[in-house]
Structure formats: C-alpha cells, structure tokens
Structure 1
Amino acid sequence: MITGIGLDITELDRIARLDSKSEKFRNRILTTEEHRHYQQLSSQRRTEFLAGRFAAKEAYAKALGTGIGPDCSFLDIAILPNEKGAPILYFNNQPVDGFVSITHTQTVAAAQVILQKTERI
C-alpha cells in the first residue's frame, strides 16, 4: 500500500552557486557516505549529484509528510547506490520501504519518492 508520494525539482545553477561559495551547503545536505561518493566525481557530475540528492531528500520529506525540519533533517536521510548503482533510501540509517527516482537535464534535477507499507502475511 502506498503511504506517501513526494516530488521535487531544483535548478543546477542554483546548487552550483551555493556549493561554490563554501562547503557549508554541501555539509548540510550530504551524509558522510554520500560525501565520499561526491568527492570521486568530476566538477559537473558533482553538481548533478548534489542537486539530485537535495531534490530526493526534499521529495522524501514531502512523502513522509513532515517536510525538512526537526523530525526529518537532510542528514537523517541518505540515498546510497545498491550493487547495480540504483539509489536506495535510508532514514536514520535504516532502509526505507519505498522507492526513489532521480533524474537531471542540463538545467534541473528532479526526484520522486514513493513510500509504501508492505503487508506481512
């Protein structure tokens, strides 16, 4: 059963500007593990990665129904690749029962999150 849906889109140039000023924005958004992935990327890919993670975390908070705030911060959420590279959501270091999709064009990054509750028989 679907329990929440969230969608977010963000401009790459906005994220690039924030990231170029200092590490403060990046450190507010990325977990330690995500930051390791970020460091391994080229300059353009870093912007796409950071914007995608920002959008996905915003989408997750919307699907959860809390928004980003005291109950759900950017650092509470992690989006890490599985063995095939697909993004997997984690909240407070626990896998989330749901799905995340991240995409980008030359100008924007977007993400959608669908949360579900798996019925156990």
Structure 2
Amino acid sequence: MIYGIGTDICDIRRIRASLERHGERFAQKVLAEGEMAVWRRRSARWPERGVRYVATRFSAKEAFSKAVGMGMRMPMTWRHCEVVNLPSGQPSIVLHGELKQWFEAQGLRVHITMSDESEYAASFCVVEKKD
C-alpha cells in the first residue's frame, strides 16, 4: 500500500550558486558522510559533475521528505538521508539515526528515481507500507 509520493525539481544553477557562495559548508549541510566522499571525488575530476551530484541528492531528499509527509523537520534531516547507487546503478536511499528508527518502526520501504538535464535535476519517490 502506498504511504506517500513525493516529487521535486531543483534548479542546478541555484545549487551551483550556493556551492560558489558557501563552498564545502553547503555540501556538508546537504550530504551524508558517504555522499561527501563521492562528491569530493567527482568534483576533483570534473567540477560540474560535482554540482550535478549535489543537485540530484538535494532533489531526491526533498522528494523523500515529501513522500514521508514531514518535510525537513526531525527526524528527517539532510544528513540522516543518504542516496546511494546499487551495483546496478539504481539509486536507493539509506537512512541513519533517528530517521532510520522511525522509518523502520512505521514498516515502510522506499523507491527513488532521479534525473538531471542541463539546468534541472528531478526526483520522484514512492514510500510504501510493507505488508
């Protein structure tokens, strides 16, 4: 049974401006520890790829927060929600801390998809109640 659906579109130019203005502090606010390592590697090789990485993660976390119906308030935080890629390349969400405990207590599971194109990153999230 569907618990919630969330979608988000993010202007990549806005993320680029935030990174230019605040540097790594902005990335640290939005990205979990594992995501920070990936962002640093991607940014070192191709800075634009790093910007897109932050934008897609920002969008995915916004979509997830909408699907669970709490927005960005506890236990939902940017850093407790991590977007990873499975070996197949499929995106997946890994939760940490209080958010993980809350999510598991509700008996929920999540499905996420992300895309980016020139100026925008978009995400769609479905959260379902396990049977």
Fold conserved between structures, TM > 0.5: yes
Paired residue secondary structure (2:72): coil
Equivalence for 1:112 = 124
**Separation in 2, partners of 1:33, 1:61:** 19
* Structure 1 segments unaligned to the other structure (5+ residues): none
Equivalence for 1:12 = 12
**Separation in 2, partners of 1:49, 1:86:** 14
How far off its partner does 1:118 sit?
A: 2.1
Equivalence for 1:61 = 65
**Separation in 2, partners of 1:71, 1:38:** 24
Equivalence for 1:40 = 41
**Are residues 1:100 and 2:104 paired?**
no
How far off its partner does 1:40 sit?
A: 1.7
Paired residue secondary structure (1:40): helix
Describe the superposition over 1:13-50 as per-residue Cα deviations: whole angstroms up to 9, x where unpaired: 11001012221111000011001111121211111110
**Are residues 1:28 and 2:29 paired?**
yes
**Are residues 1:79 and 2:83 paired?**
yes
Higher helix share: 2
- Number of matched pairs: 119
How far off its partner does 1:71 sit?
A: 2.3
Runs of 4+ in 1 over 2 A off after TM superposition: 93-96
Paired residue secondary structure (2:87): coil
* Structure 2 segments unaligned to the other structure (5+ residues): none
Q: Please tell me the residue identity of whatever aligns with 1:98.
A: V
How far off its partner does 1:56 sit?
A: 0.5
Q: Please tell me the residue identity of whatever aligns with 1:100.
A: I
Q: What value does the CA root-mean-square deviation take over the aligned residues?
A: 1.5
Using the aligned pairs only, state the percent identity.
Answer: 25
Give the TM-score normalised by the residue count of structure 2: 0.85
**Separation in 1, partners of 2:11, 2:87:** 29
